Structure 1
C-alpha cells in the first residue's frame, strides 16, 4: 500500500509516517518512481509506534525497543532493549502513581466543594465561577 492508504488505515498523517521512516521506526519499499510502498504488517507497527509515543516515549527510545518486535531472539539487541523497556515501564508506573495522587487530591477538593453547595448543579449545567468581594 502507498503512504496515503497507510495514513488512512492508521489515522497517522503522511508527514508523521515519513518522520517515522527518518527515525528508523518504519521501513518501506520504493517503486521505480520513488513512491513508498508498505506491507500490511506496517499497519500494526504504526499503531504500536503511536501507542508508545502516547505513553511518552521518545523516538530514540522507541527505536531501541522495536528490535524486540523485529528480531525477538537476536542476542545482540535483547539486553539493551530489555533495559530500555524496563526503564520506560518504571517511568510509566511513576506517571500512573502521580496521576492517581492527583486524582485523589481532586476528589478531596470536589468533596470540599460539594459541602458548600446550597443546591447542587446538574451534570449538564456548568457551575459558574464567581469572584468574591
Structure 2
C-alpha cells in the first residue's frame, strides 16, 4: 500500500508517517517510481507506535521496544531490553508525579490564601 492508503487505514497523517520513518519506526519499501510502499502489517505497526507514544515513550524508546512487540495479543513481549526501557520510563513518570504533586500543594496553599483573603472582604 502507498502512504495515502496507510494514512487512511491508520488514521495517521502522511506527514507523521514520514516522521516515523525518519525516526526508524517504519521502514517502507520503494516501488519502481520511488514511492513509499508498506506491507499489510504496517497499519498494525502504526497502531503499536501510537500506543507506545501515548504511554509516554519517546520515539527512541519505541524503536527499542518495537522488536519486542511481535505478538499482537500482548503489548510488549518480555525481554531484558523491554524491561529496562519500561522501568526507566516508569521511574521517570514517578518523579514527574512527585514534582507535580509538590507543585499542586504549593498552588493549593496559594489558592486557599487568596480565597481566605477574598472571603474577608
- For 1:25, what is the secondary structure of its paired residue? coil
Q: Which structure has greater helix proportion?
A: 2
Residue 107 of structure 1, CA deviation: 1.4
Q: Tell me: CA distance 1:35–1:119, structure 2 relative to 1, closer, same or farther (3 Å).
A: farther
Matched, 1:41 2:55: no
User: So what's the TM-score if we normalise by structure 2?
Assistant: 0.69
Q: Structure 2: which 5+ residue stretches go unaligned?
A: none
Residue 119 of structure 1, CA deviation: 8.8
Residue 36 of structure 1, CA deviation: 2.3
Out of 25-34 and 81-90, give the one that drifted further.
25-34
Q: Give the Cα–Cα distance (whole angstroms) in 2 for the partners of residues 12 and 110 of structure 1.
A: 41
Q: Give the Cα–Cα distance (whole angstroms) in 2 for the partners of residues 80 and 8 of structure 1.
A: 32
Question: What is the root-mean-square deviation in Å for CA atoms of aligned residues?
Answer: 3.1
Q: Give the Cα–Cα distance (whole angstroms) in 2 for the partners of residues 101 and 7 of structure 1.
A: 41
Q: Give the Cα–Cα distance (whole angstroms) in 1 for the partners of residues 63 and 118 of structure 2.
A: 52
Residue 37 of structure 1, CA deviation: 3.5
Count the aligned residue pairs.
114
Residue 19 of structure 1, CA deviation: 2.3
Higher alpha-carbon Rg: 1
Out of 83-92 and 25-34, give the one that drifted further.
25-34
Q: Structure 1: which 5+ residue stretches go unaligned?
A: 121-133
Q: Give the Cα–Cα distance (whole angstroms) in 2 for the partners of residues 104 and 5 of structure 1.
A: 49
Matched, 1:105 2:90: no
Q: Would you say the 8 A contact 2:53–2:59 is kept in 1?
A: no
Q: Give the Cα–Cα distance (whole angstroms) in 2 for the partners of residues 9 and 115 of structure 1.
A: 55
User: So what's the TM-score if we normalise by structure 1?
Assistant: 0.64
Q: Tell me: CA distance 1:4–1:90, structure 2 relative to 1, closer, same or farther (3 Å).
A: same
